[in-house]
Amino acid sequence: MQIKTAARLGLLPPYLFAELDRLKKEVQQKGVDVISLGIGDPDLPTPSHIIESLKRAADNPINHRYPDYEGLEQFRKTAADWYRRRFGASFDYQREVCALIGSKEGIANFSTAIVNPGDIVLIPDPGYPVYYSGCVFNGGEPYFLTLKKEHGFMPDLASIPAEIARRAKMLWLNYPNNPTAATVELSFFESAVKFCLKNDIILAHDSAYSEIAYDGYRSPSVFQVEGSRECAIEFHSLSKTFSMTGWRVGFAIGNAQLVGALGKVKTNCDSGVFQAVQEAAITGLEGGDGDKLAEYCAIYKERRDILVGALRKLGLECESPRATFYVWSKVPKGYTSVSFTERVLKEAGVAITPGSGFGKGGEGYVRFSLTVSSERVREAVDRLTALRF
Ligand SMILES: *Cc1c(COP(=O)(O)O)cnc(C)c1O
């Protein structure tokens, strides 16, 4: 039999990272101790009070059954309380908060809830790939907003043609940003909300890195802007904040109709978050971790300072990020994102991510992750220094 898969699978770009994974294995097989600055996955462990909470919750037979679709009442309430403490915005946890199996799940399913065939979706480029796949899987037409250095890696909303703005259904934003590590001030969200309200566009903000910040920076929420509740939803994740990527838990918060629409899709394709994980997530969100999160941010900051200082010495142009655990750097003259990534991997045994893997707008850049120890960052830096480019 000839198997014919859905045409939508053909809409995905070739998976650039697969070829680099192959190359990385090849280098490792030669006995090279590869330092991986490629993936966005914290190396620091989940704080122990969260793990203890999971252990207790796992023993309770109530938690062995199907969870509620929308999440435990206590989880949603705790998420709303955390949100109010952090951003000063209050939400009705019954109607305006929904538990997610990690925010990636929510981001993908939200597109299914919103996008009709032919709808235009405004997508940052470079950007997290799920905004694009969610759009095209549902027949939407992506319109890319290039994030340029000279514009602080923020989309220039004023440059969007009126006809596109009129037809657009949704705008994706993500600050602190992956992969550029750019941050914004509230004024940017003010202009984004204004733009969305004027053009009847849904504002979807991915806030996965809101708590990974340095130098006193506090990232804003779109819900600190007046009028945002009419048009916006925000996606939060415990993955980066609490080093819980493997646990799969996050939440969506915002406009009740938008949260409700997402919930409708979810009831038809998943059955919620393991309740023991939700109980552990409650423990995390309630705080009481001493200063674990501050301690983790201080660790990322130390690594950042080592890496940024060294890259600049090598003549690579990069900002020192105020948030996220990434450093977004220009490649040296004469290289593309991929050719630089390949040379660094083959000759220095350092794995990084080519910016072009996040969209055309990322060409000419590479992303370094700060998810290895300072010692390893130093070693990576020494190896890069020996390269000469
Ligand atoms: C890591 C990440 C996410 C989601 O992570 P989950 O583990 O699914 O919560 C979402 N958006 C961006 C930009 C990310 O980097």
Q: Flag whether 370 is in a domain.
A: yes
Mutate to test the pocket of ligand 1, among 100, 178, 183, 211 (most ligand atoms within 8 A of CB): 178
Count CB-CB contacts under 10 A for residue 187.
10
User: What residues form DSSP beta bridges with 143?
Assistant: 122
For the record, the structure tokens of 88 come out as: 């000063």
Please check whether residue 169 is in contact with residue 114, taking contact to mean a CB–CB distance below 8 angstroms. yes
Are 260 and 112 within one domain?
Answer: yes
Between CA 328 and CA 341 the distance in angstroms is: 13
Q: Evaluate: CB of 241 within 6 angstroms of ligand 1.
A: no
Return the ligand 1 atom nearest residue 177 CA.
13
Q: Is the beta carbon of 210 within 6 A of some atom in ligand 1?
A: no
Is any ligand 1 atom within 6 A of the Cβ of residue 322? no
**Quick one: 198 and 260 in the same domain?**
yes
**Do 315 and 376 fall into the same domain?**
yes
Which of 87, 85, 67, 64 minimizes the C-alpha distance to 75? 67
The domain boundary residue, chosen from 227, 252, 286: 286
Tell whether the torsion through CA atoms of 178, 182, 188 and 189 is positive or negative: positive
Dist. CA 135 → ligand 1 center (Å): 17
**One domain for residues 175 and 101:** yes
H helix and E strand count, the chain? 14, 12
Nearest C-alpha to atom 11 of ligand 1 is from which residue?
208
Residues 196 and 216 in one domain: yes
Tell me whether residue 1 is in a domain. Answer: no
- pTM to 2 decimal places: 0.97
Locate the ligand 1 atom nearest the alpha carbon of residue 239 and give its number.
7
Q: Are residues 306 and 272 in the same domain?
A: no
Phi-psi region of 320 (alpha: psi -120 to 50; beta: other; left: phi over 0): beta
Ligand 1 atom nearest to 206, measured from its CA: 11
Pocket flag, ligand 1, residue 208 (CB < 6 Å): yes
Angle between helices 103-114 and 129-137 (to 10 degrees): 30
Determine the Cα–Cα distance for residues 203 and 175; give it in Å rounded to an integer: 13
Is position 2 within any domain? no
Which of 286, 307, 341 is the endpoint of a domain?
A: 286
**Residue 290: per-residue pLDDT:** 66
Task: Tell me the pairing of strands 202-206 and 168-173.
Answer: parallel
- Structural element, H or E, at residue 44: none
Residues 183 and 102 in one domain: yes
For residue 379, what is the domain's CATH number? Answer: 3.90.1150.10
Considering the domain architecture, whether residues 258 and 314 belong to the same structural domain is answered as: no
Q: Which of 107, 177, 206 to mutate to test the pocket of ligand 1 (most atoms within 8 A of CB)?
A: 206
Report whether residue 122 contacts ligand 1, using a CB cutoff of 6 Å: no
Residue of 100, 172, 237 with the most ligand 1 atoms within 8 Å of its CB, for mutation: 237
- CA dihedral defined by 30, 36, 37, 43, rounded to 10 degrees? -170
Neighbour count for residue 73 (Cβ, 10 Å): 12
CA–centroid distance, 3 to ligand 1, in Å, is: 32
141-146 sheet: strands from edge to edge: 97-100, 250-254, 232-237, 202-206, 168-173, 120-125, 141-146
CA of 347 relative to ligand 1 center, distance in Å:
31
Q: How far is CA 121 from CA 19, 22, 140, in A?
A: 29, 33, 7
The CATH number of the domain holding residue 162 is: 3.40.640.10
Tell the residue nearest (CA) to atom 14 of ligand 1. Answer: 208
- What distance in angstroms lies between residue 209's CA and the mean position of ligand 1's atoms? 8
| Domain housing 31 | 7-45+291-386
Overall size of the chain counted in residues: 389
State the DSSP string of 66-82.
PPPTT--HHHHHHHHHH
124 lines ligand 1 (CB under 6 A): no
What is each CA distance from 108 to 103, 137, 225, in whole angstroms?
9, 9, 25
Q: Enumerate residues 6+ apart whose C-beta is below 8 A from 145.
A: 122, 123, 124, 125, 155, 156, 157, 160
Looking at the fold, whether 108 and 185 belong to one and the same domain comes out as yes
CB contact at 8 A, 39 and 368? no
Beta-strand pair 326-330/202-206: unpaired
Look at residue 251 and tell me if it is in a domain.
Answer: yes
Number of independent structural domains in the chain: 2
Cβ(299)–Cβ(332) below 8 Å = no
Question: For every one of its 389 residues, what pLDDT tens digit does the chain have, with 9 covering 90 and above?
Answer: 999 999 999 999 877 788 888 999 999 999 999 999 998 999 999 999 999 999 999 999 999 999 988 899 999 999 999 999 999 999 999 999 999 999 999 999 999 999 999 999 999 999 999 999 999 999 999 999 999 999 999 999 999 999 999 999 999 999 999 999 999 999 999 999 999 999 999 999 999 999 999 999 999 999 999 999 999 999 999 999 999 999 999 999 999 999 999 999 999 999 999 999 999 999 999 987 768 899 999 999 999 999 999 999 999 999 999 999 999 999 999 999 999 999 999 999 999 999 999 999 999 999 999 999 999 999 999 999 999 87
Question: For ligand 1, is residue 177 a contact (CB within 6 Å)?
Answer: no
Establish whether residue 191 lines the binding site of ligand 1, counting it when its CB lies within 6 angstroms of any ligand atom: no
**pLDDT at site 18:** 82
Q: 237 CA distance to ligand 1 centroid (A)? A: 7
Q: What is the CA radius of gyration of the chain?
A: 21
Residues 37 and 93 in one domain: no
> CB neighbours of 345 closer than 8 A, spacing ≥ 6?
20, 23, 24, 27, 34, 351, 352
